[in-house]
Structure formats: structure tokens, C-alpha cells
């Protein structure tokens, strides 16, 4: 949104800084009507600046609270709860008894949780794509001929996987996947007391649920295109489809997209751009970092790219089908599954430099590196030995070093301060609302922790 690297304002900063230019604010200042429909993702809310530049911003957080929250645990009386805790403590004395307890308790919780479950809609944590697309089409209808910028963020392929039955039907598997079965599969896939070998027995079914979510997004995007065509806006529309991350399904023993690795399954995402100028489909097999997406889209509609954008506009090259062969930088904080907690955000950096044939992954936690030849080893099964491809390894290291230096040099202290103070105000307000002053804790100092 802001054409900035995720850690460009320091690891403590989450989201878009107050007053930071984004593609939405730039287009709004250029006379565009702007709207965003975001499917209940708590990290993409106004609290973290994502509403900036949008005249209408719907995050659907109110609708997610009404969804059934099935945690896979069972409720019971105080006596049964106390008894269960005693049994659990006893079971932990040996590995065998602990395994037996975990399995029995999991199966018991599933039987309890499935009671009263009648539909996928009851289980889904996020509003379905058809809900957001319907509202987006209604918004477009009211615009008449005004230029507009629309952002629709869909969560249907995101875990937990509860696709609509229509999506499963389009894959021909609706009869074999009931809501109760989907609940069981998602709960089983979320277990961390079993190994990848046992998880693998249900991998195919989980992937089917994921695929159905992707199919549903595809169908709803098609409906959005139909809506634009019926209102005679399609011929003048730049239409971009992409994702913020991929998903792992045990390819490296991992699930979901937790930032414990930067595998291709997580960082390689689709990017499709349609414009009136490009009449026929082209596939560009080049590395394209999403930091370049916003400036490229601005160039496509003839709007000046702000100097704060770190990415480069590549519109002329896209039209010509000749993207520059530049590497992409990927960075995050390793293992940060809960960015609400400031302490989680300042974990060690995890970084990758990806070019056409090679990828260097750097773990700052243990000062380790791994170089992969993704051309010959696309599944990244084996990192290259340290004495192999030394020149390529050093070239990627130099790119990483340049990125770190430039990140520090380009860091805007005003934006960083605003974002940090926003975070402090947010924590103070939450603590005050909960009556819990213990939540008001550091680090409050404005410092650079790398």
C-alpha cells in the first residue's frame, strides 16, 4: 500500500504510519473516489492506518465477532474441569500416557464441538467473498462516471478453511465434506502435539478445502468483473489481483504461513494485471517484488508517484513484456505470530534475497544462511554447501547489506514516531477499556532496535 519494506520504519512499527502516503491517499488527492472492503482481518484495520486515503473503509470486524468460535476444547462443570486437569498432569509423566491423553481429549473435544454445527457459514471466521463483492458492486453503482480506486481484500483461502458448499460443489466434492468433517479436519490440522507423518494423512482433504476457497475467490472476482462490464467501466479499468502470502502444506514440515521460513510456497504469490492497453495475455517469468506494485499501478493511470515510495514504477516494461531482472527482498521478524505484542515484533530479523535462479535466506537469530538454486531445486529440498557458488552467494550478501544500509538511511523518524505513539495510545486505550493497568508496559522508548 505504501511501497515500503515491512521493517522500513523499524521492527516495532505495525501497519501504515499516520500520514504516510499510500496508493489510496495519492489517488484520493488526485480526485479519485476511494473505498476498501477488508474481510475481517484484525491487522488491516483503521487501528493500524489502513483506512488512510479511503473515503469509505469497511473492515467487517463487527461481522467476525458473530461467527461461531470453535476452539476444539470442551466446556464442562468445575468438577469435570478440575478432574481433567489432574488427569492431564498425571498423563505427562510418560510420553506414552501423554500421547494417549492428548488423542482421547482431542476426540472428545471434537464430539462436543460438532454439536449444533449445521453450516460452513456458522464456522467461518471471516465474511465470505460474495459478501464483500456485493458491497463493492453497490458502491461502484453509485459512482456514475467518477474515477475510482477500489481495494477488496478476501480471506476465503485463509485458514481455518471453511469454503461455501457451492465452491466445494464446483470441485465435485461437496457430498464428501460436511461442516462437521470440515471442523474436524481444521482442528486436526491445527494440532501441534503430533508429527508431520500423522498430519499428512489428512493433507489431501485440507488442500481440497483450501482449493475450494481459492475457487470461490476466483468466482467472485469474475462476478466483480461482470459488474464492471454491465456498468460500462471495465474497458477503462486497471484490474490487479495478488496475494500477501502463500501457504505451506507440510512441504518443509510446516503448516500455514508462520514466519519461521521464507519458502517459495509462502513468498511466491500470484500477480495478474489487466489494463485496456494490453489486449492479449502475457506471462512474464521474472522476479517482481510487490514493493513495485503501487508505483507501477500509479504509472498505469498516469498519476505521479510520490518520492516516499521505495519501489520503482515498471509500467513501461510491463507493457513491453520486458521486466528488469532485479532481485526481490523479503523480510519479517522470525516467528512473530502475534504482532499485537510489541515484544513479538522485535524478534530477530528473517530475510531472503530472491533472484531468478538463486535465493539466499539469512537468519539473524543464529547468524545462519542457506543458499538455494531454485532453478534446479524449485522445492528447496537441499541448501547448497558453503563452498559451492561462492560468487553468487557473495553477490546476494552484498545486496542484503545494501538493503539494510538503505533501510536505515531512508527511515523517516517522523513517521516512525507517529506510528510508535499511535501504538502507545492504542495500548493505553485497550488497557483503560479493560481496567487492566498491567497491560500498560514497555518498551515505550523511541529507539532503533535494528
Q: What is the pLDDT of residue 285?
A: 84
Q: Tell me what the mean pLDDT of segment 395-422 comes to.
A: 93
Q: Tell me what the mean pLDDT of segment 232-247 comes to.
A: 94
Residue 74 has pLDDT above 60, yes or no: no
Give me the chain's average pLDDT, please: 87
Lowest mean pLDDT among 261-275, 298-312, 333-347: 333-347
Query: 450, 333 in Cβ contact below 8 A?
Result: no
Q: What is the pLDDT of residue 435?
A: 63
Buried b (16+ CB within 10 A) or exposed e, 331-349: bbbbebeeeeebeebbbbb
Q: What is the pLDDT of residue 102?
A: 80
Q: What is the pLDDT of residue 440?
A: 46
Residue 271 has pLDDT above 90, yes or no: yes
The maximal CA–CA distance of the chain, rounded, in angstroms, is 71
- pLDDT tens column, 87-120: 777 777 788 887 888 878 888 788 777 777 788 8
Query: 374, 358 in Cβ contact below 8 A?
Result: yes
- pLDDT tens column, 325-371: 899 999 998 887 777 777 778 888 999 999 999 999 999 999 999 99
Sorted by sequence, the CB contacts under 8 Å of residue 225 that are 6+ apart come out as 234, 239
Q: What is the pLDDT of residue 67?
A: 46
According to DSSP, the β-strands at 56-58 and 33-38 are parallel
Lowest mean pLDDT among 150-154, 201-205, 342-346, 434-438: 434-438
Query: 357, 375 in Cβ contact below 8 A?
Result: yes
Q: What is the pLDDT of residue 64?
A: 52
Q: What is the pLDDT of residue 77?
A: 67
What's the order of all strands across the beta sheet hosting 33-38? 56-58, 33-38, 148-153
Q: What is the pLDDT of residue 176?
A: 78
Q: DSSP for 173-203? A: -GGG--HHHHHHHHHHHT-SSS-HHHHGGGH
Q: How many CA atoms lie within 13 A of 323 on its CB side?
A: 21
Residue spans of alpha helices (H) in 190-304: 196-199, 203-230, 264-267, 293-300
Q: What is the pLDDT of residue 17?
A: 95
Neighbours of 376 (CB within 10 A): 9
Q: How many CA atoms lie within 13 A of 178 on its CB side?
A: 6
Q: What is the pLDDT of residue 347?
A: 87
Amino acid at each position: 500500500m505504501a511501497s515500503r519494506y515491512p521493517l522500513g520504519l523499524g521492527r516495532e512499527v505495525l501497519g501504515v504510519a499516520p500520514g504516510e502516503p499510500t496508493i489510496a491517499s495519492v489517488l484520493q488527492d488526485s480526485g479519485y473516489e476511494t473505498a476498501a472492503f477488508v474481510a475481517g482481518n484484525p491487522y488491516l484495520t483503521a487501528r493500524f492506518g489502513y483506512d488512510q486515503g479511503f473515503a469509505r473503509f469497511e473492515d467487517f470486524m463487527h461481522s467476525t465477532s458473530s461467527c461461531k468460535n470453535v476452539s476444539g476444547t470442551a466446556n464442562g462443570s468445575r468438577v469435570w474441569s478440575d478432574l481433567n486437569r489432574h488427569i492431564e498432569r498425571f498423563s505427562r509423566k510418560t510420553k506414552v500416557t501423554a500421547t494417549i491423553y492428548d488423542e482421547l481429549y482431542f476426540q472428545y473435544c471434537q464430539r462436543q464441538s460438532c454439536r449444533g454445527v449445521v453450516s460452513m457459514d456458522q464456522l467461518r471466521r471471516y465474511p465470505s467473498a460474495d459478501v464483500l463483492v456485493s458491497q463493492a458492486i453497490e458502491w461502484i453503482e453509485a459512482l456514475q462516471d467518477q474515477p475510482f480506486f477500489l481495494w477488496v481484500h478476501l480471506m476465503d483461502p485463509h485458514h481455518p478453511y471453511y469454503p461455501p458448499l457451492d465452491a466445494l460443489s464446483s470441485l465435485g466434492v461437496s457430498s464428501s465434506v460436511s461442516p462437521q468433517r470440515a471442523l474436524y479436519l481444521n482442528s486436526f490440522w491445527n494440532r501441534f502435539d503430533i508429527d508431520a507423518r500423522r498430519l499428512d494423512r489428512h493433507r489431501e482433504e485440507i488442500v481440497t478445502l483450501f482449493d475450494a476457497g481459492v475457487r470461490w475467490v476466483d468466482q467472485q472476482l469474475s462476478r466483480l468483473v461482470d459488474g464492471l462490464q454491465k456498468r460500462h467501466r471495465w474497458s477503462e479499468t486497471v484490474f490487479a489481483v495478488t496475494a500477501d502470502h502463500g501457504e505451506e502444506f507440510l512441504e518443509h514440515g510446516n503448516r500455514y504461513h508462520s514466519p519461521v521460513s521464507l519458502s517459495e510456497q509462502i513468498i511466491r504469490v500470484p500477480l495478474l494485471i489487466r489494463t485496456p492497453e494490453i489486449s492479449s495475455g502475457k506471462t512474464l517469468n521474472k522476479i517482481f517484488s510487490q514493493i513495485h506494485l503501487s508505483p507501477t499501478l500509479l504509472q498505469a493511470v498516469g498519476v505521479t508517484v510520490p518520492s516516499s515510495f521505495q519501489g520503482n514504477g515498471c509500467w513501461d516494461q510491463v507493457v513491453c513484456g520486458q521486466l528488469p531482472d532485479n532481485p526481490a527482498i523479503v523480510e519479517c521478524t522470525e516467528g512473530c505470530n502475534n504482532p499485537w505484542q510489541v515484544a513479538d515484533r522485535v524478534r530477530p530479523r528473517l530475510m531472503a534475497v530472491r533472484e531468478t535462479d538463486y535465493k539466499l535466506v539469512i537468519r539473524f537469530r543464529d547468524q545462519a544462511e542457506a543458499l538455494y538454486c531454485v532453478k534446479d531445486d524449485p522445492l528447496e529440498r537441499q541448501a547448497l554447501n558453503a563452498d559451492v557458488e561462492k560468487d553468487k552467494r557473495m553477490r546476494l550478501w552484498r545486496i542484503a547489506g545494501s538493503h539494510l544500509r538503505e533501510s536505515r538511511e531512508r527511515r523517516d523518524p517522523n513517521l516512525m514516531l507517529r506510528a510508535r505513539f499511535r501504538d502507545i495510545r492504542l495500548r493505553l486505550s485497550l488497557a483503560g477499556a479493560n481496567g487492566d493497568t498491567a497491560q500498560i508496559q514497555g518498551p515505550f522508548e523511541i529507539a532503533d532496535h535494528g
